[in-house]
Each structure stands twice: as C-alpha cells, then as structure tokens.
Structure 1
C-alpha cells in the first residue's frame, strides 16, 4: 500500500495499457482529463532488449507523463528481468502482461495464455522483483473457477507482485464474445490479497467507476475501451467529439506518433457520428488521410456540421437510440454474445441452404449495399452493381471454376485430381503430370549403374 500511496500518488483513475492506444499523446490527453496513472502500450520484452530503436519508441515520455507504468509481454524470466532493468529509470513500476487474449499472444505464448504455467510466472515475477529497483506489477484475467482465480492472484503476490490489476473476464471473453466482466470475482480477489488492486471491465462512465470501487473494494479503476470513446470519462462529462479530437491532434503535434495510431483514435472518438450516412464522406477522408492536416480538416467538417446543433442554433433529430446526442463522446456497446451466436447460427444455416442473408430491415425489399459499394456510388452515382449468378460446383454450393473441365470449384477439383490422378489446366492443377515426371526421374535413377566409368 505504501507503493500505491507514495509512488503512484494514490492513483484512482487509471488509463489501461493498449497497443496503438496508450501512446504518449493519448496519455497526455488522459492526464489532462482526470487520469491519475497511465500505462504504456504492451511492449515485447525480447525485442525491447535487442532493438535500441524499438526501446526508444517504447520509453518515449516527458516530465509530465508521471506516474507511469511500463508494460511488457514475455515468457522468459531472464528476458523479462533484463527488459525491466532497462526500463526502471523511466517509470514507477514495470507490469507483466498476463491478460492479453488475442491470437498473436497465443502464437507467441504470452499474455493470458501463460495463466496455466504458474511455476514459470512465479519464477518471472520472483526474479524481476528481486533484481530491479522498481516494483513489479501484474495484469491478469480471471478463471472460470473463482477459487482458482484467488489462488492464482495469491501465487503472484507471493512471488513478489506489488500490485495486481484484475480484468473480470476470462481468456475466452473477447471480440464478439466479450460479454460482461464479473465484478464478484474481483471482489473475492480483493478480499484475499494484501497488495493494492485495480479493477478492469464494464467501465463506460464515471458512475461505473464509483460503483465498481464500492462493490469490489479496489484502490483504483482501469479503463480501456471506455476511455478510447470518451477521454473525459474520469471527469464524468461527455464533451463533443470534435473538441476531444482537436485537443488530441494538438498533442500529436507536440508528441508525434504513427499516422495509423492517429487514425485509430479519431475513428473511435467519432464512432457514432461517422456511422451516419450523412458523414460517409468524412469517414472516407479519415480512412485515406496521410497527414495531420488531413485529420484536422475532417474534424473541422464534423464541427461545422454539428456545432450549430450543440449550441441550440438549430434543432437536430436524433437518428438512433443513443443515450446522448450523436456528436457527444459516449460508450460503444457491443452486441451481447447470445445475440451474436444466434446471428452466426442463422448465417451458417443460410449458407448451407445456399441462401444469402439480406442486409435490409425490409425482408421483402432489396438488400442494402455494403459500405464499400456505398463509397463507390458516392464517387460515381451512375455506377450499377449487378450480382452475377455463377454456376455452382457439382459437388458443393461454391461457384464452379469457369475453366474447369470437371465443373467443380477449386477445392473439389483438387481433391478429385489427387484421388484419381488427373490434370485440370483450368485450375492449374497438374497432379498427373507431376507424378509422371516423378516416376520418370525414379526410373532414371534405377537404370543408372553405380559403377560408371570415369
């Protein structure tokens, strides 16, 4: 608790570590709007140790960017300790990421995919905490079993972790299956460990922050997606999106970052307003922007379109059921997992029956155009999109190859050629030809005498 009170200044409102989301410019924006503590994005421990350029990018900061926690992913005690030692002079603590559930973490064997390797994690935290001069913290996800979650947290505390951040979702709760975080698990962990704790999950407003602290007893609340859509979430206000975007772009001039990062932030800030057909032109401009001035121009257009409504000069008819006016920062609410799985099942059944799912509210009306085709239509109003009806494969519902002599799709044609030793020039599948070449090569080797005269 002394570390949390003295080094972290009793941080209550925390900006989460986000890849391409919590860079220096965004951290400074967060601090200007109530964040007490910020994390860097997750950095790869091994690359951080070996690549000076990568390391310089990871440690980019300024005097006002404190207190700060640098986060790493790693699966090796020596590498994690070395990375922590290289970062210790630039932060108040070093965090081990044990919460990332993405596919890249699975391939690299880090993040939440280490949560079953307790001995390895114990060794990593133990070695780093006894070697570097700043505290080691851990960000984790919960298990399905609440007792296993508590034992997991206690193990990390015993290994030397000085602070825990508990995300109340399991490793499987991600993307369209995210669902709600379970605060009861966080509360149980809080009552079972003595180190300070932050909670993460279900934070979309200041009211959620205060309610989570009251229900779980944690020292602070970490926000990720909620903060990306409203950087003023810790102030309890919902400012116009164009004001937040302009403030962020001003900070980017002082603390430059990649164009892709800027684009991602602008899209998330303006998610709801850019989803309206009336703003598709601005959305397209942002998608193609390459200079900071391009983003500034697009944000200015949104300001011009909605400031007159925000100030009451003109009335505005809200086009959807958003809790706030469309030009205000507000949370992005995901589709519930049950509803997503239901739609996915319907789509699979429709595909099996050879039917498409109409993208229209009117089941008897024509299907709506995709966003990509809508953009094409905006540039060329005379463009006509005619869906060609291609003949189907004789074995499945996929379109057949137009030049296939067996009237099959490429997948079915490949199977047929391998099984029956055939060629299909239309699909450029030459199984028969290559097997004959292999036989001839084998016969040539057999006929050749091993005792040829030199």
Structure 2
C-alpha cells in the first residue's frame, strides 16, 4: 500500500483529528496521553526525543517509545530533534513501526536547543532542513511532519512553510510565536501568521498557541481555517479541555494516578510535575502541602498528598455552603479546586511589530532582581535557594566559592575531576572502550573485564590440554584400560 500523503494522511490515518495534545518534554508520556484521549483528545505526540541518543542507546529507545506501545494510544506521532539528515533518518527508521508519523521539531526555543543546535535555532538553515525533510520523506514508510515557529515577517513565514511542503512535509504545525517569544516575553501567539500559512500550502495545518478553553479551539479553527488545534499548557492544567469541561482537580489527579498504575513504568518526576500543574492554583493557598508534594519519594506518597488536597478542598466547599467560609475573590474564573488554565502575565508595555522598541521591551520584560549578596542572606536569595538553605543551613551560594569546572577537550561539557583521560563521562567511555582501558573515576572497567575474560579462557585452555590429543576421554587412575593395565 502506498504511503498516504497530505490531506489523505490526515483524513485516513489521523482520522481527521482536530483536538491535538502537543509534544511536551517529560510531560506527554503514555499515561498522560491516555488520560487526555479519554477526555476528548484525538491525536497525541510523544515527548521530543533526541535523535542521536535514540540511535545509539537501546535503553533510551525502550524507555521512551518501545515500552509505551499501546493499542489505545493511536494515532500517535513521534517527535525528534535533530540537525543531521542521516542521524534523523536512522532514528526515524527505528521509530516508524511504533507510530503513525515522524515529526521534526523546529519550534523549541529553549537554551538547551540553542546549545544543541536544534529546534527553532535551525529555522534560518533552509538548505539543511530541506535535505532532512526530503531524505526522510523518500526513505520512511510513514509521513514526515514538522512543527515550526513563525518569523516576524509574515511573508518569510509563508515562504518557510512552502519550502518545507515542497521538501516533503505532509503536515505542518505552526506555533504563532517567534523564536524570542518565551519566558517573560511569551506574549500572545499571532493567528494571522497561521492563517497566512494555511492559505499558502495545500497540506494540513495545525495551529498552536493561545489555547486555554474549548471556545479558543473553535474560534481558532474559525478564524484561521486550520484542520486542527494543538494545546500544551492548557492541556496540562486541564486534560478535559477538549471536552469543554472543568472538572474538580482531584478527579483528574486520581484518574491520572490510576492510569499510571495500569501502565508502568512511569518516571516519578513526570507524575510529580503533572500533579503540580493540576493542583497549581490550590497549592498557592495550601503551601505546606506544596512542600510535601516536592519531598515525597514514591507514587503512594504523591497519591497521599493529592488526597489531602482533595479533603481540604471538600472541607472548603462544605464550609462555603454553610456560609461559614467566604471564598476570596481573585482573578480565577472558577474556584481554585476546578481545572482551569494558568494565564501568564503579559510582557510589560508590549508593542507588537515595533522593531525600534524591541531592545527596550526585552530589558523591561526580562528584568531580573539585583544580584544576591555574597554572604547569602536569606532575604536576598531566590525562593528556590531559600528552600535549599533551609534543608542545608551551611550551604553557601556565593559565586566565588562555587567550584570551577574544566571543560572536556572533545565536547566542551564539564570533565571528570579524576578522569584518567581528562574527559567527560560520555567521551571517556568511548575512549576507554576503544583503547580497552579503565577509568575508576567514571566507573569504567573495560581493561579489568578483558583481563578477567582472558584469564578465564586461559584456565579453560589449560583444562583442555590435559585431554588426549586423539580426542578420547581421559580415564581416572583407578580405572583399567582395554588391555587390563591400570593407569598409573
């Protein structure tokens, strides 16, 4: 059967999916995808996977994709970050039998993407991207899709999308924010860019950005004409977003924990992060349980904290009904115990499309607190550092006292202080394996293992040498030969 493309792929394989859960690092794992599908999501993406690691590490493949294969979890698109056509192809070939399409991440704006040279930091390298998409489209048995961010200029965004379509991209997700719209500068996604892309290409287009409620989904489809809408943060705070409901948080938390138990293994940090998102507004009030949620070390502990939060919320509801509790007025449209989005504060004095004010805007919106005093007084430390100080009163945050790390000669990462090769662990492992050497600092014992195996072979060889050269079995001293002579 020939590979489906474009609209045929969206209609047949993706079943005309309109409600899409975004690829989220450490957050769109199997359990969360299944929960989201139960509440209206029609298509999910895996978390972003690193193509190079996926190719070289069998454990990484198993833990992040192979062990999560589930009949309920379809249709599914696997997303990779990559900057090398051959490596991207190798990773995609290893993943294609476990999903319905392969997505190339061209939208991640984080610093780790800048250091690794992937995500949105490839958006100016059109020749490289064209080669990557074209090669994958030719060699894979499933379609290749892309997720991008927009440029400031609408025309350039349109040409970018058309280039990817021509190279072989079969579905395009457009996040309506630029590379610089992140953190304090996140701001509002521009749907006009998405609308322009939708009109300019013939492949299906998904919109991403500004999705907090089901009404936002319908409005986005109506205004832009896209085939589907993707949600990330809105989904994390309310996995029932695509149902159009805002259930009590404890219902979603308990259902999620039940799915986690049904589909292990699930990394504890993933579960904890989801509970922090779900209980976000409640934890602003019950901060003592916020501390507990951060400290517990197992799934049962997380479930117990969630139960305590539920009991406190139900107590508040009962007191409110009795008239003995007046709910504090705030900016939230619903009580804090209902699933609802977290609205980021807008950048200060945001004036869109005014280049002359860009630098001043960044200074205003990303203003940082004054440098902390070197003595590390509690009132000058960040909240995170104050927590660390509470756990370890002797901890010193003075930058002058921080250890200076030497860089690995090969990759630039911090090298091991006692490494015999003066390399980081990854580079040391390669060199030690190649040279059959040991590095006690990194716990590598290639030479020791080789010596042990050699010694075992020598011992085995010594035993064989005592056997008769003609291959017959040796006889004990008390046993007679065929001639009746005792063996001396």
Instruction: State the TM bucket, normalised to the shorter chain.
Output: 0.7 to 0.9
SS at match of 1:172: coil
Aligned pairs (5 A) from 1:62-101: 62-101=70-109
Residue 326 (structure 1) aligned with residue 336 (structure 2): yes
Cα shift at 1:371: 5.4
Cα shift at 1:320: 2.2
Distance 2:147 2:400 in 1: 46
Q: Deviations over 1:345-386 (max 9, x none)?
A: 59979959x9xxxxxxxxxxxx9997579989999xxx9xxx
- Contact 1:70/1:87 (<8 A) preserved: yes
Instruction: Tell me: CA distance 1:137–1:310, structure 2 relative to 1, closer, same or farther (3 Å).
Output: farther
Cα shift at 1:317: 1.2
Cα RMSD, aligned residues only: 3.0
- Work out which of the residue numbers 132, 137, 162 in structure 2 matches 1:154: 162
Instruction: Tell me: CA distance 1:371–1:2, structure 2 relative to 1, closer, same or farther (3 Å).
Output: same
Q: Deviations over 1:73-117 (max 9, x none)?
A: 000111111111111111110000000000000001100000000
SS at match of 1:210: helix
Distance 2:251 2:310 in 1: 8
Q: Deviations over 1:314-371 (max 9, x none)?
A: 454135221111111111111111169889759979959x9xxxxxxxxxxxx99975
**Aligned residue number for residue 221 of structure 2:** 213
More displaced, 130-139 or 253-262? 253-262
Distance 1:153 1:373 in 2: 43
Aligned pairs (5 A) from 1:245-284: 245-255=253-263, 256-276=265-285, 279-284=286-291
SS at match of 1:94: strand
**Aligned residue number for residue 26 of structure 2:** 20
- Work out which of the residue numbers 17, 33, 38 in structure 1 matches 2:39: 33
Distance 2:53 2:348 in 1: 39
SS at match of 1:86: helix
Distance 1:342 1:154 in 2: 31
TM-score by length of 1: 0.76
Instruction: Tell me: CA distance 1:148–1:79, structure 2 relative to 1, closer, same or farther (3 Å).
Output: same
- Contact 1:101/1:172 (<8 A) preserved: yes
Distance 1:43 1:370 in 2: 32
**Aligned residue number for residue 434 of structure 2:** none
Instruction: Tell me: CA distance 1:262–1:339, structure 2 relative to 1, closer, same or farther (3 Å).
Output: farther
Residue 173 (structure 1) aligned with residue 181 (structure 2): yes
Instruction: Tell me: CA distance 1:148–1:220, structure 2 relative to 1, closer, same or farther (3 Å).
Output: same
**Aligned residue number for residue 48 of structure 1:** 54
- Contact 1:41/1:71 (<8 A) preserved: yes
- Contact 2:236/2:274 (<8 A) preserved: yes
Cα shift at 1:157: 0.2
Distance 1:330 1:139 in 2: 26
Q: Give the total of aligned pairs.
A: 371
**Aligned residue number for residue 345 of structure 2:** 335
- Contact 1:230/1:238 (<8 A) preserved: yes
Distance 2:381 2:332 in 1: 24
Q: Which runs of 5+ in 2 are unaligned?
A: 1-6, 351-359, 374-378, 402-488
